[in-house]
Structure 1
């Protein structure tokens, strides 16, 4: 049985650090690295996206502490998810689905009818999570020079 989950919107520095920690852990597991990057290395990326107009960070916590987060910002007609990560020891526990539901609720509150995100095109685990939540893949691809990875745009129309 999974511990009850609480979603909290926060821009506090400690929430940003927790998000960076979770991102580092999830990224290391995804990439099959034995060590995760230090928080200080991933924190600037979180802060850069949080500086966008209207950006929000939702932190998921349970009795174990912080277990996931998402960071998103509105565009004129869409809400773009820039980060969604779950601590590896909480994978499969419904955290990602709860975070995506929180993003969807927020999008409706600010009258955005489309969610969008970019996902690494060979990250099957993430793609499956997004598809289960109702996202569909598009033909739009972008190559990231910094990582050498290709990303695919996914969208979800809110009915």
Structure 2
């Protein structure tokens, strides 16, 4: 039987480092790289988003091991998700679903009408997770200079 998932909100450097570790692992697995980026490379992006007014970082843990996280902040009438990542050995275990439900709860508590995010256009696994959670493709595309990849905007109406 799988241990229960525990979600906790954090703002400290150690939590940001945990998130950066998970991000590196998930990104390496997604891109079929043998080695994840070091925390020192992934941490600045997480810290930059965590510095946005109202930003929240939620870590998901099972049996005292962090297995996923999300980082989001209010943007106008929306709540924007900047990061959602699950450690590859926990993929398919409901972690992303629980994190997305938690973000939706925050959005409703803050009276936000929509949730939105940008996802790499060829990341079919992530796109399918978002679609199952009720997100739709807005049709908007942008080029992400840091990854040199095209991203698409996905939106969930909470009305």
User: TM-score, length-normalised on structure 2?
Assistant: 0.98
2:150 corresponds to which residue? 150
1:35 corresponds to which residue? 35
Distance 1:7 1:113 in 2: 23
Instruction: Please say if 1:49 is aligned against 2:45.
Output: no
Number of equivalences: 159
Instruction: Please say if 1:82 is aligned against 2:82.
Output: yes
Distance 1:110 1:146 in 2: 31
Runs of at least 5 residues in structure 2 that lack an aligned partner in the other structure: none
Distance 1:145 1:17 in 2: 23
Distance 1:12 1:145 in 2: 28
Corresponding residue SS for 1:17: helix
State the 1:3 CA deviation.
Answer: 1.6
Q: Which runs of 4+ in 1 moved over 2 A?
A: none
Runs of at least 5 residues in structure 1 that lack an aligned partner in the other structure: none
State the 1:64 CA deviation.
Answer: 5.1
Distance 1:19 1:31 in 2: 18
State the 1:7 CA deviation.
Answer: 0.5
Aligned residue runs from structure 1 range 60-139, under 5 A: 60-63=60-63, 65-139=65-139
Distance 2:153 2:127 in 1: 10
Corresponding residue SS for 1:100: helix
State the 1:138 CA deviation.
Answer: 1.2
Corresponding residue SS for 1:20: helix
Distance 1:134 1:42 in 2: 28
State the 1:36 CA deviation.
Answer: 0.4
User: TM-score, length-normalised on structure 1?
Assistant: 0.98
1:2 corresponds to which residue? 2
Cα RMSD, aligned residues only = 0.8
